[in-house]
């Protein structure tokens, strides 16, 4: 078996993808696994293994937010017919301090948040396990808990180095001096609540331990990372863990790390010597996995009279459990989005007795841009400038923090295109001037940006003489379209109809990819597939004794000069199997890479009730080459809907007496439903970013959620003159 390596030290120019011989790259073809999912043929984690040997676990969780466990009485539960065992932490290690997994860094015997997993009741059926779980008595010695970010903000501290996706403090120039001396100043604090990922599929796992080796059917986003996390939690070598994650019913960051379900299922299977299934209930998913942190964000802007920013600061406070230092990088966009000589972005953290806060869709930008883009709107008004004009006056030529060139940046083009399509010129700058009956109508806009994070990835591609190919990698598809995109890349590179490419994902025995997270999935795993295909093209050229660049691959044939040879002939001695190893290189360090966009929103605010209806929502995005128009657009729809929820309804409500999340299910935690979402519009700008990946693409998955909530709240202000500084904008805040 051969390997082909590519390290991206310089921009990759035009490729076979640009030639587009198969006319399949970029095309909005349907996800081929879609019909499998809607007809129940796609097997999700919990549906693996069904025989009578399978045992079922139910997690017992803490009914207090802070305390010491004095006694766990399992007698009554164990006495129940059908109950096999109760697994608790003395049976093996349960805690891990990995900042990106969903296991609390709990100190033995201590409860740090309400709903913290304590033990697992295992029985011959799910119903028996659930019933018996209620019979487990846990006695706590109460400890004083802290639950309220606002009340604890004086205790905020700088998280230790390396605990976040960026440094906790980033500065340039002298902010304080420049701010004090500037002609126009703005200083406002915004707050956002904790949020829940709320993926459709609850966290679930099936563990099957045989002869010292563990097979785990899971629903996680990052297979190779998750294998290491699980091995560490169980105190075994990662080589003993085989993880299978073929289909995943949504992630949004909530499945970036392993959860209690897989650790408990594995412990139980090891002890009982039979397969064990564990699924968290919807309530447990809310209480015992992870959340997006609540935030307090102070934004300060200072400009000259012409609206040129001279000083910009974004100081944020977020929360996490004690011992988990990961912080929401809420100021991440403020570092580079707008010009200004004097800059300051800080992140401080408060310890609360709440479940882990970790990454949720576009960690950082998604909440940080609520504050920044709302502030830009407020400042534009203070300056008497149109919000688009204000942003244009502060468009930086290079990264304003470190002076690096942008690999490509189409923010201005996105704003202009959006303004034209949306009819922005018809907006009245004065709030409350447009009325239709009871409804006040307003328009708002906001910028979008999401960092591009290319990752190392490998994939194996096999080309057969029959004109078929297969792609294999442990990359995941969380509903985003990975299966189909990788099929399209291989088809275009190898000159095959896309139906002839089979894609296998989500199995830890396959070559390692970085998984689905950070909007890097398609670009990174796709680059590995590209690399493997380049290796195959080289191998074919060698076989035919021609130069690769003189060769065209089309419809299962190789064309070189006036000779067209079918693959069956070229590969008469067997298939080519190629592992592509792709690594980011210097282009990721010597350019600043991000995707950009602009959101435009029109709302109606009911003058009598304060009810807000989003009437129109347009996002114009730019993310380099779009690999599949349909799946990319769908990702943006998802982001827009997330933004509507963030602006109007989503909020985890904490009972500050004990840390219970009061609204711990989909009935009470309000994600937008169809009736809340108008016909959405997404426009993706034609762009190639040759420094961002060999595919010339950038991350698109999380782009559209960034800033969109602020476009909604800026529209609310334009409609009725009420500024939202405390998200979500529920109607009690409007009246």
Q: How far apart are the first and last CA of the chain?
A: 68
Angle at 135 between CA 131 and CA 138, to 5 degrees: 135
- Give the containing element (helix H, strand E) for 245: none
Rounded to a whole number of angstroms, the minimum distance from the CB of residue 528 to ligand MOS is: 19
Site residues (CB under 6 A) for ligand MOS? Answer: 221, 251-253, 256, 359-361, 363, 517-518
Rounded to a whole number of angstroms, the minimum distance from the CB of residue 516 to ligand MOS is: 6
Rounded to a whole number of angstroms, the minimum distance from the CB of residue 100 to ligand MOS is: 9
Rounded to a whole number of angstroms, the minimum distance from the CB of residue 450 to ligand MOS is: 10
The set of residues, in sequence order, having a beta carbon less than 8 Å from that of 178 and lying 6+ positions away, is 302, 310, 311, 341, 342
Q: Between residues 221 and 266, which has the closer beta carbon with respect to ligand MOS?
A: 221
The residue number whose beta carbon is nearest to ligand MOS equals: 253
Rounded to a whole number of angstroms, the minimum distance from the CB of residue 702 to ligand MOS is: 6
Q: Between residues 104 and 253, which has the closer beta carbon with respect to ligand MOS?
A: 253
Rounded to a whole number of angstroms, the minimum distance from the CB of residue 513 to ligand MOS is: 14
| Cβ atoms 526, 489 nearer than 8 A | yes
| Cβ atoms 452, 408 nearer than 8 A | no
Strand 469-472 relative to strand 501-504: parallel, antiparallel, unpaired? parallel
| Cβ atoms 640, 706 nearer than 8 A | no
- Give the containing element (helix H, strand E) for 465: none
Q: How far apart are CA 705 and CA 599, in angstroms?
A: 10
Q: How far apart are CA 482 and CA 496, in angstroms?
A: 18
Angle at 203 between CA 201 and CA 208, to 5 degrees: 120
Rounded to a whole number of angstroms, the minimum distance from the CB of residue 294 to ligand MOS is: 16
Q: How far apart are CA 482 and CA 628, in angstroms?
A: 10
Q: Between residues 253 and 259, which has the closer beta carbon with respect to ligand MOS?
A: 253
Q: How far apart are CA 232 and CA 547, in angstroms?
A: 48
Decide: helix, strand or coil at residue 411: helix
What is the Cα gyration radius of the chain? Answer: 27
Q: How far apart are CA 280 and CA 220, in angstroms?
A: 14
Question: Which among 632, 601, 444, 610 is positioned nearest to 521, based on CA atoms?
Answer: 632
260-272 vs 223-234: helix crossing angle, rounded to 10: 50
Rounded to a whole number of angstroms, the minimum distance from the CB of residue 222 to ligand MOS is: 9
Decide: helix, strand or coil at residue 264: helix
Catalytic hit among 378, 381, 534, 702: 702
Q: Between residues 453 and 620, which has the closer beta carbon with respect to ligand MOS?
A: 453
DSSP string, 438-454: TEEEEEEEEEEEEE---
Q: Between residues 45 and 313, which has the closer beta carbon with respect to ligand MOS?
A: 45
And the tokens for 646? 């963030």
Question: 404: which DSSP letter?
Answer: P
Q: Between residues 113 and 292, which has the closer beta carbon with respect to ligand MOS?
A: 292
Q: Between residues 245 and 531, which has the closer beta carbon with respect to ligand MOS?
A: 245
Rounded to a whole number of angstroms, the minimum distance from the CB of residue 593 to ligand MOS is: 16
Question: 597: which DSSP letter?
Answer: E
Q: Between residues 15 and 290, which has the closer beta carbon with respect to ligand MOS?
A: 290
| Cβ atoms 616, 681 nearer than 8 A | yes
Q: Between residues 535 and 701, which has the closer beta carbon with respect to ligand MOS?
A: 701
Told to judge if 181 belongs to the known catalytic residues of this protein, a careful annotator would answer no
And the tokens for 114? 């309400």
Active site residues: 702
């Amino acid at each position: 078996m051969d390997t082909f390596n590519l390290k991206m030290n310089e921009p990759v120019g035009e490729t076979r993808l640009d030639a587009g011989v198969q006319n399949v790259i970029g095309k909005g073809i349907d996800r081929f696994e879609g019909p499998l999912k809607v007809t129940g043929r796609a097997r999700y984690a919990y549906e693996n293994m069904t025989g009578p040997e399978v045992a079922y676990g139910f997690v017992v969780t803490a009914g207090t937010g802070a305390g010491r466990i004095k006694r766990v009485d399992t007698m009554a539960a164990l006495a129940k017919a059908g109950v096999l065992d109760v697994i608790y932490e003395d049976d093996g290690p349960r805690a891990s301090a990995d900042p990106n997994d969903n296991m609390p860094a709990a100190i033995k015997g201590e409860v740090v948040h309400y709903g913290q997993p304590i033990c697992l009741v295992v029985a011959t059926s799910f119903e028996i396990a659930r019933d018996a779980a209620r019979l487990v008595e846990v006695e706590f010695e109460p400890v004083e808990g802290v639950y309220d970010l606002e009340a604890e903000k004086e205790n905020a501290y700088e998280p230790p180095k390396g605990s976040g996706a960026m440094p906790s403090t980033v500065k340039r120039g002298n902010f304080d001096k420049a701010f004090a001396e500037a002609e126009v100043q703005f200083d406002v604090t915004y707050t956002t609540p904790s949020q829940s990922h709320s993926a459709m599929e609850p966290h679930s796992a099936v563990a099957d331990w045989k002869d010292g080796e563990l097979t785990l059917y899971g629903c996680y986003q990052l297979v190779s990372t998750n294998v290491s996390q699980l091995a560490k939690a169980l105190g075994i070598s990662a080589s003993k863990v085989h993880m299978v994650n073929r289909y995943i019913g949504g992630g949004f960051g909530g499945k970036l790390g392993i959860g209690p379900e897989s650790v408990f299922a594995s412990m139980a299977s090891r002890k009982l010597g039979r397969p064990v299934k564990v699924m968290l209930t919807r309530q447990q998913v809310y209480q015992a996995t992870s959340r997006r942190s609540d935030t307090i964000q102070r934004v300060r802007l200072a400009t000259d009279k012409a609206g040129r920013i001279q000083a910009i600061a974004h100081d944020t406070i977020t929360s996490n459990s004690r011992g988990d230092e990961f912080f929401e990088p809420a100021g991440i966009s403020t570092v580079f989005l707008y010009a200004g000589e004097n800059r300051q972005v800080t992140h401080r953290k408060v310890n609360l007795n709440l479940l882990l806060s970790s990454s949720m869709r576009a960690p950082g930008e998604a909440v940080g841009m609520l504050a920044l883009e709302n502030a830009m709107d407020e400042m534009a008004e203070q300056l008497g400038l149109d919000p688009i004009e204000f942003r244009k006056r502060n468009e930086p030529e290079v990264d304003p923090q470190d002076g690096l060139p942008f690999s490509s940046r189409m923010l201005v083009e996105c704003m202009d295109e959006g303004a034209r399509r949306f009819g922005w010129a018809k907006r009245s700058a004065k709030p409350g001037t447009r009325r239709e009956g009871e409804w006040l109508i307003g328009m708002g806009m906001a910028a979008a940006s999401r960092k591009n994070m290319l990752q190392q990835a490998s994939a194996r591609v096999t080309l057969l003489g029959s004109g078929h190919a297969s792609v294999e990698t442990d990359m995941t598809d969380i509903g985003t379209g990975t299966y189909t995109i990788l099929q399209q890349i291989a088809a275009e590179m190898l000159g095959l109809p896309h139906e002839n490419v089979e894609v296998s994902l989500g199995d830890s025995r396959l070559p390692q990819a970085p998984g689905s997270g950070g909007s890097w999935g398609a670009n990174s795993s796709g680059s590995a597939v590209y690399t493997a295909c380049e290796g195959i093209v080289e191998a074919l050229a060698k076989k035919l004794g021609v130069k690769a660049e003189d060769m065209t691959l089309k419809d299962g044939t190789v064309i070189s000069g006036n000779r067209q040879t079918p693959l069956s002939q070229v590969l008469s001695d067997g298939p080519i199997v190629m592992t592509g190893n792709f690594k980011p290189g210097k282009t990721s360090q010597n350019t600043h890479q991000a995707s950009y966009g602009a959101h435009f929103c029109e709302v109606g605010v009911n003058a009598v009730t304060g009810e807000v209806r989003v009437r129109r929502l347009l996002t114009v995005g730019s993310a380099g080459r779009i690999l599949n128009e349909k799946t990319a657009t769908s990702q943006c729809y998802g982001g827009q809907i997330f933004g509507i929820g963030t602006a109007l309804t989503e909020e985890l409500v904490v009972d500050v007496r004990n840390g219970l999340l009061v609204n711990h299910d989909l009935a009470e935690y309000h994600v937008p439903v169809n009736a809340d979402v108008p016909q959405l519009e997404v426009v993706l700008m034609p762009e190639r970013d040759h420094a961002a990946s060999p595919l010339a693409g950038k991350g698109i998955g999380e782009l559209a959620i960034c800033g969109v909530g602020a476009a909604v709240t800026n529209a609310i202000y334009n409609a009725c003159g009420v500024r939202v500084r405390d998200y979500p904008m529920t109607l009690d805040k409007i009246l």
